[in-house]
Amino acid sequence: MRILLILLLIFEISLGQNLIEIEKNCPPCNVSKNKLDYVKSKWLNFAPGDLIKVNSLTPIKYSPSNVFLNNNWTTNKKLLYVDQDKVEGFKMQRYEINPWWMRKGLDPWSDSPHWGWKGQYKEPNHNFDECVDDRLRWMCGYSFVVDLPNNYRKDIKYPLLIFLHGTVKSKKMTFYHREKIRTEIFCPQNDPFVYAAPIKLEIDWDPKKIKDVIENIKKNINIDPERIYLTGLSMGGRGSFIVASELTKTFSAIMAVSPHHGPYTYIKLAHKLKKLPILITHGEIDKVSSFQVSKKMSDSLKSLGGNVIFKPRKNIGHNSWYEPYKDSTNIKWLLSWKKE
């Protein structure tokens, strides 16, 4: 009997420690029921030509979507990238995604929209609750930047272009490249658009989070609902397929640049995208993301009667993203579409 009581006491102590451990493992966001208050939130004053950083959605906690977690994710809280399919010419990848956002100079919840080598980045000063495990920040809403036209007027409806970046981990150089794309993307003087770029922490882009980004922008900027466009490169290229396949009534057209083939194939999403104008461009000698999978996606869309343009780029590898965005033909094609 005494031994039984000792065992029960040990069990209760162990259970208590586990409960304490669970209580200490919460993400730095906890809003779920009243999230509309944040989606509808108003920004501070802004002026034409401003580059705005928006953190309005970061308090919202989302359920995981299209992320690969190891079997012990509830205790380890680690993200894994795990390829599901073997793609010809590419090794199957499996690696842990470290919480890069916890490193100094890379915190995406900064109030400053400036990244890379400009020296204008400002480290945020968080006041997280004691329970917070910052490795779980990928559960939270996206932080994003919004670039307004120089001649922005409140009484004019503007097209909205959402840009989805690549990679599953970030460093100063990747933010520098994203800044360069933002500053070099072709924007017609007679048809300027509002440019928005969210920052992803998880592996694949989450349609639910992108939907809320768009709604938050629409609450603050006069957006033409018939002219909302989506584009992205590499993981953002596949992200364009993933997001548009779930938000089928949101976008007028999409442009995918060098879409990445893993962790699972996006070709199976073709039937959901067949009614959407799509431009796909990919370097023929890409050693990071499969050109052939990209081409198969185009062929699949065409076989379903889809409106798709496939632009192969000869003697071009993966890290050549600026040209598709500087190309006025691509951007004018994208902006030419309106929702039916």
Give the pTM. 0.90
In a domain, 13, yes or no: no
State residue 74's pLDDT score: 46
Nearest to residue 331, comparing CAs of 152, 226, 156, 191?
191
State residue 63's pLDDT score: 84
State residue 53's pLDDT score: 96
CATH of the domain at 145: 3.40.50.1820
In a domain, 18, yes or no: no
In a domain, 34, yes or no: no
In a domain, 242, yes or no: yes
Residue 213's φ and ψ, nearest 5 degrees, are -60, -50
Neighbour-count burial for 67-80, b at 16+ CB within 10 Å, e otherwise: bbbeeeeeeebebb
| Per-residue pLDDT of the chain in tens (340 residues, 90 and over written 9) | 555 444 444 434 343 333 334 445 899 999 988 899 999 999 988 999 999 999 999 999 998 765 445 544 444 567 889 999 899 999 999 988 899 999 988 999 999 888 765 567 888 999 999 999 999 999 999 999 999 999 999 999 999 999 999 999 888 888 888 989 999 999 999 999 999 999 999 999 999 999 999 999 999 999 999 999 999 999 999 999 999 999 999 999 999 999 999 999 999 999 999 999 999 999 999 999 999 999 999 999 999 999 999 999 999 999 888 899 999 999 999 999 998 7
Domain that holds residue 325: 54-335
In a domain, 45, yes or no: no
How many domains does the chain divide into?
1
State residue 196's pLDDT score: 98
- What is the rounded distance in angstroms from the CA atom of residue 6 to the CA atom of residue 3? 5
In a domain, 43, yes or no: no
CA dist 4 to 12, 14, 65, 135, Å? 12, 15, 44, 39
In a domain, 96, yes or no: yes
